[in-house]
Amino acid sequence: MRTSRVFSVKDTSKVKEHLLTWGRQFQEVAWLDSNECDSKTGEYEAILAVEAFTAIKTDDVAAFDKLKEYQETTADWIFGYLSYDLKNDVENLSSRNFDGLHFPDLYFFQPQKIIFIREQQVEFHYLRMVDDEIEEDLEEIQGLEVQTKAEHNPVEVKSRLSREEYLDKIGKMLDHIHRGDIYEANFCQEFYAENVQIDAFSIYRSLNEISTPPFAAYLKLENFNLISASPERYLKKKGEHLLSQPIKGTARRSENPEEDLRIAKELADDPKEQSENVMIVDLVRNDLSRIAKKGSVQVDELCKVYSFKQVHQLISSVTAEIAENVPPVEALRNSFPMGSMTGAPKISAMKIIEELEESKRGLYSGAVGYFTPDGDFDFNVVIRSILYNSENKYLSFSVGGAITAKSQPEKEYEECLLKAKAMREVLTNL
């Protein structure tokens, strides 16, 4: 089905810049970049997939069934996203909050052209109908002048909630926790701008340069744009092996090395942050146990501190072996939405989230990634991400955090502002 060509390169960082610049011309673009952070568990340094041959775009009704049929029928590489609101397909839930973005709930495409970068090599995997363009495209990519960072008019971002409204909502969430309705829930707030025109490609490059996260993504599907600096993996499948790496626990970085080490140690030792993480690890273990071989679910890392340019994070790694005769899409269906963005118990938390949040989450706290022809997959968690509809010129990003019985509303608000910092910077040209 595909023709493959492999070329050796000396400077993969330069090739990545050229590839990304070349790819922006297409109507459908998926760019996934590990920023050399994910060498232990990542398959590729970067992937560019462009120009749809086929595609699926749908709302939440029977969305996973449609995706399963599409994935099995194409039996090829497909790239795309799952929005948070597919929760309504998995459980008897609904999404009634305000939606300014109007993204489809699920969108995947089968690219005509895929280019992989790994281990000083560039691999072209083209459908046979366009494989005669490999040499021509390579020459064009090599000859490109990489665009310098484009300046843009500062985007004035508004908050959907005032500080007082946010604190009031957290108070109500804590009431639910103290009544025993839930143990933990992830509460999010939206920042938005209306009637703005941005170059999503340039904003992505700036955000990625500031953050360099392991699960960065730039997605353009028609007028729907995702600019993602995600540090979190949702779920990966390779053969029978499943890996989930939930994040719970955030602390700021410091330019002073001694202070930075102290902050990281305080995060590692913080009982509140640890308890948040452990609750979500238990939820992930429970989700995976539904589609895993008996006794195969393991916690390989618990509450380990990982440091990124903007923040320190507590990350755990949960692994499992998928049970026989479980289709790949079922592994996603049974663990979606991811525990780090919902809470525990999961369904109760999602109901309370819907009641208290003001905006429909949409692609935020969903997942972006790919399936291979063999049915393997790798998906991130869409956080630290800007969403933009170029047709109605609506821009949005959301931030949130886990609320537990030990949460202090003012500190939760400050954590939200910390998570929003990089996105604000690239939008306001600071």
Digits of tens for pLDDT over the chain (430 positions)? 899 999 998 888 889 999 999 999 999 999 999 998 754 567 899 999 999 999 999 999 999 999 999 999 999 999 999 999 999 999 999 999 999 999 999 999 999 999 999 989 999 999 999 999 999 999 999 988 887 666 778 999 999 999 999 999 999 999 999 999 999 999 999 999 999 999 999 999 999 999 999 999 999 999 999 999 999 999 999 999 999 999 999 999 999 999 999 999 999 999 999 999 999 999 999 999 999 999 999 999 999 999 998 899 999 999 999 999 999 999 999 999 999 999 999 999 999 999 999 999 999 999 999 999 999 999 999 999 999 999 999 999 999 999 999 999 999 999 999 999 999 999 987 5
* 344-368 tens-digit pLDDT: 999 999 999 999 999 999 999 999 9
The whole-angstrom separation of Cα 379 and Cα 328 is 12
Cβ-proximal residues to 349 (8 Å cutoff; 6+ apart), any chain: 182, 184, 185, 186, 342, 343
Q: Could you tell me the pTM of the whole model?
A: 0.96
The percent of the chain in helix, strand and coil, each rounded to the nearest 5, is: 35, 35, 30
Q: Cβ atoms within 10 A of the Cβ of 388, count?
A: 27
The whole-angstrom separation of Cα 341 and Cα 247 is 9
Point out the residues that are catalytic: 232, 248
CATH class of 2-148+160-428: alpha beta
